[in-house]
Amino acid sequence: MSKFGRVLASVLLACGPMTAACAQADPEVSRTFEQGWTHFRLDGSLQVVRIAQALPQLGRLPRSTFRGTVVYMHGCSGIDALSDRTADMLAAAGYLVFIPDSFARMTKPVSCDPSRNLGGLHREVLSWRQAEADHALKQVKALPSVDASKAFLMGLSEGGITTATYVGEAVAGRIIEGWTCHAGWPEYRGLLAPPGEPVLAMSSENDPWFQEPVLRGDCGEFMTTNSALRRSVVFRPPHPAAPHHDLMWNADARRLVLEFLDAASNARP
């Protein structure tokens, strides 16, 4: 039983036409977007640029430049190699990826210790991350190069909890990685995607972070349908991903994500 389980159980440059939205944004929340990173492929070359620096260039590109847009919410340890690898994969497939940086806040309490599978150290972090997702989606969807009807929300672990529980901007779909939708804290529990909104949830049966009974299960228990556009996938033994928390290193997980994005994009009117 992990300590995480025991605890859980008990842009200024982005403004322009978005002046009103920016004026209302908490400067701490705005900072997480401006100082985050964007990954995209342009003229055959992968670009990795800080969001504040990339916005002028992105503002000049036609909407047809990218297949869609993904706002990616990193895990509790911040933007790391896992985040970059996922964003690079999505960018290589033709998507524009934005990664808000929660650690760009001037004040950022520690919410986990990944070296010990220890989480739940800052319960309020969920509302912080939801605010970051909401601000990022508002800014991204207002860019001329972004087709708002093909804007997705994706997250890993703490970012996956955020993705599952986010309420606000409409998205073309949600991808939840490394989260079960089960928790002792009620605000962390469940799936708040509107009926009919595409959702892909991926978890592993032997995830070392989620072995306590209250955390076990999967997001499928909160879905009324199981189809290509509303699906929970649990990697079980002997699948190599079964004992892992993060999944995007695995070819099967990557395939599921790209297939989901394609299907959800084509399902939009």
Q: Where are the alpha helices (DSSP H) in the chain?
A: 3-9, 19-24, 27-34, 51-59, 81-92, 125-141, 158-165, 251-267
What integer is the mean pLDDT of 158-181?
Answer: 98
Helix (H, G, I), strand (E, B) or coil at 192: coil
pTM of this structure: 0.90
How far is 86 from 91, CA to CA, in rounded Å? 9
pLDDT number for residue 1: 38
Rounded CA separation 48/257 (Å): 21
Tens of pLDDT along 8-56? 333 323 343 333 334 457 999 999 999 999 999 999 999 999 999 999 9
For β-strands 199-204 and 45-50, DSSP reports them as unpaired
Return all residues near 67 (Cβ < 8 A) that are at least 6 apart.
Answer: 93, 94, 95, 150, 261, 265
Inter-residue contact 175 to 258 (CB < 8 Å) = no
Q: Is residue 233 within 8 Å of 179, Cβ to Cβ?
A: no
Q: What angle do CA 123, 83, 160 make, to 5 degrees?
A: 40
Q: What is the pLDDT of residue 115?
A: 81
Res 268: pLDDT: 62
pLDDT in tens, 58-92: 999 999 999 999 999 999 999 999 999 999 999 99
Say what the pLDDT of residue 111 is: 87
In this structure, what CATH number is given to the domain that contains residue 215?
A: 3.40.50.1820
Digit-coded pLDDT (tens) for 136-166: 999 999 999 999 999 999 999 999 999 999 9
The parent domain of residue 37 ranges over 3-267
Q: How far apart are CA 240 and CA 107, in angstroms?
A: 38
Domain count, the chain: 1
CA 158 from centre of chain = 9
What the block records as the tokens of 263 is 């299907």
